[in-house]
């Protein structure tokens, strides 16, 4: 059922990962992703994998949830593997059927590309969506984008829009579910027929859904105006983000791990991958 989709889902908890300052989490996650594309060689990848595994362990997030989060990109993963295996040449030839040639180098490349993608997706799930509440996430983002306000960048408005969008994902999902059930009760069939027929079958769902979304938007706008919302200017916060000892400790530790991975990638020659 549609409600089982975990997109943008937050799992409340009280672990060190949950308690970290969102700004630290956002920055380190972005850095992690950048580093993933800079390193090469088995040991640096091992370090990054172990690092993420420790984070997952600390966050007490069920591994199954992470696999569930990876499921939507399964096709992408398979496709990338194919491309890399078939189009990367070099190393020992393992298989040769017609124009298809599989080499050790190809398999090696495919393995690391996949690992990279999996790490990339999992890190954003574990560090951001699963362990950070949407409010903390947008607060952190607004704070990080704060310096750009001087350049007339609407950081607050952007954060507010994100908060609202995130807030309405579950609501709209639920509404979709309800409308689908209602139309199914009138004999609508979403599961059989050609793609065209199925797309047409969605009209009775999409129209009420859009109308509902506009209605909600209008109601929300009125509610915000009733409480004198005027944008970010002069607005104070209930929860002010403050970095404490654990945030500094985690940052330093993480940066050290990143540094080691990079140094190892560029000083040691890893046989096959560097040719």
Partner 1 sequence: MDAIISVRGLTHVYSPNTPFEQVAIKDINLDIYKGEIIGVIGHTGSGKSTLISHLNGLIKPAAGTVTFNGENIWKSKEFTHSIRFKVGLVFQYPEYQLFEETVYRDIAFGPTNMGLKEDEIRGRVADAIRFVGLKPDILEKSPFSLSGGQKRRVAIAGVIAMMPDVLILDEPTAGLDPRGRADIINHVKAYNKSTGLSVVLVTHNMEDIAQTVDRIIVLKKGEIMMTGGTSEVFSRGKELEAAGLAVPQITQVANRLFDAGLNISTSVYTVEQLKNELLSLGGARK
Chain contacts with partner 1 (rule: CB under 8 A): 3-4, 11, 62, 64-65, 175, 178-179, 181-189, 203-204, 207-208, 211-212
CB of 269 to partner 1, least distance (A): 46
CB of 210 to partner 1, least distance (A): 10
Euclidean distance between CA atoms 93 and 101, whole angstroms:
7
> For partner 1, which is the closer residue by CB, 210 or 229?
210
> For partner 1, which is the closer residue by CB, 46 or 211?
211
> For partner 1, which is the closer residue by CB, 188 or 260?
188
> For partner 1, which is the closer residue by CB, 211 or 243?
211
CB of 11 to partner 1, least distance (A): 6
CB of 122 to partner 1, least distance (A): 18
CB of 56 to partner 1, least distance (A): 15
Euclidean distance between CA atoms 262 and 267, whole angstroms:
9
CA-based Rg of the chain, rounded to a whole angstrom?
23
Q: Are 41 and 265 a contacting pair, CB within 8 Å? A: yes
Alpha helices in 89-202 (DSSP H): 104-123, 134-145, 155-185, 195-201
**Angle at the Cα of 213 (from 145 to 2), degrees rounded to 5?**
90
Euclidean distance between CA atoms 19 and 219, whole angstroms:
33
> For partner 1, which is the closer residue by CB, 84 or 183?
183
CB neighbours of residue 35 within 10 Å: 21
């Amino acid at each position: 059922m549609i409600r089982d989709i975990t997109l943008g889902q937050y799992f409340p908890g009280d672990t060190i990962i949950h308690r970290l300052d969102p700004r630290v989490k956002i920055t380190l996650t972005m850095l992690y992703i950048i580093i993933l594309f800079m390193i090469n060689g088995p040991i640096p990848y091992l370090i990054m994998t172990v690092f993420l595994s420790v984070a997952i362990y600390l966050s007490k997030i069920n591994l199954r949830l992470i696999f569930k989060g990876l499921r939507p990109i399964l096709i992408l993963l398979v496709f990338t593997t194919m491309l890399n295996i078939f189009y990367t040449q070099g190393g020992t030839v393992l298989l040769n059927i017609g124009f298809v040639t599989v080499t050790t180098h190809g398999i090696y490349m495919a393995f690391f590309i996949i690992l990279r993608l999996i790490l990339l997706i999992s890190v954003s799930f574990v560090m951001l969506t699963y362990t950070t509440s949407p409010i903390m996430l947008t607060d952190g983002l607004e704070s990080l984008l704060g310096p750009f306000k001087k350049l007339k960048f609407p950081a607050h408005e952007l954060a507010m829009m994100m908060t609202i969008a995130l807030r309405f994902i579950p609501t709209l999902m639920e509404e979709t579910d309800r409308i689908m059930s209602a139309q199914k009760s009138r004999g609508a069939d979403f599961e059989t027929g050609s793609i065209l027929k199925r797309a047409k079958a969605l009209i009775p769902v999409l129209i009420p859904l859009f109308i509902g979304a506009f209605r909600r938007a209008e109601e929300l706008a009125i509610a915000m105006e009733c409480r004198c919302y005027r944008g970010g200017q002069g607005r104070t916060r209930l929860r002010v983000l403050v970095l404490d000892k654990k945030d500094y400790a985690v940052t330093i530790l993480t940066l050290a791990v990143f540094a080691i991975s990079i140094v190892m990638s560029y000083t040691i020659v890893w046989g096959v991958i560097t040719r």
